[in-house]
Amino acid sequence: MGAVVGTLTMQTKQRRPSRDKVDDELEMTMVCHRPEGLEQLEAQTNFTKRELQVLYRGFKNECPSGVVNEETFKQIYSQFFPHGDASTYAHYLFNAFDSTHNGSIKFEDFVMGLSILLRGTVREKLQWTFNLYDINRDGYISKEEMTQIVTAIYDMMGKYTYPALKGDVPRQHVDAFFQKMDKNKDGVVTLEEFILACQEDETMMRSLQLFENVM
């Protein structure tokens, strides 16, 4: 999604750089879904009003209706991984952003998640990432859930990740992660176990692609 954000901001820079507040607020009424006011979003996120204006213009340019569905999200995201298959990972990422679980991402959902991932505390970022891995949202990460996400990341990176690796490599990595994370050996990883393990082992955090490839 970092690539997606880059595209959004790049496209907005191609437009007129100066607009006053009235114009920005007027634009926000011209779509099917009108997001919260800039002041409210500024209070709820770690972005300035100006940054929110830039993000909103880019979001609206990609999604004129004011919301993005999963298929559109996949199409946008897949553009940045031409040598792999990003569709499965994009599916999981879409669900993580879809806070209301209604099959669409509103601008508010987008910037709230983005605010955490780009400017949140380490704990906030890890909690967001835990929710990404907790596919069935039961409050635990199972070995199967982690395998699905890690496999999706390998598929997304394509030949740049494993030109000659065997198909069981993702599961081998997950087995190693679980051995370190599952402190009480009950077969699942809790939020606290996940955070503790990642804070104790920077290599594990990088291997899980926690921040670089989540967005």
Per-residue pLDDT of the chain (215 residues; tens, 9 = 90+): 444 444 443 333 444 444 445 444 444 444 455 566 888 999 999 999 999 999 999 998 888 888 999 999 999 888 888 888 999 999 999 999 998 889 999 999 999 999 998 999 989 999 999 999 999 999 999 999 999 998 898 888 876 655 445 667 888 889 999 999 999 999 999 999 999 999 888 777 776 655 455 45
Q: How far apart are CA 137 and CA 43, in angstroms?
A: 28
Instruction: With 0.85 as the threshold, say if the pTM is over it.
Output: no
* Number of Cβ within a 10 Å radius of residue 28: 20
CA 202, 205, 207: angle at the middle one, nearest 5? 110
Over residues 159-215, the pLDDT tens digits come to 665 544 566 788 888 999 999 999 999 999 999 999 999 988 877 777 665 545 545
* Kind plus residue range of the DSSP H or E element containing 68: strand 67-69
Q: How far apart are CA 125 and CA 132, in angstroms?
A: 11
Torsion of CA 164, 168, 172, 174, to 10 degrees: 110
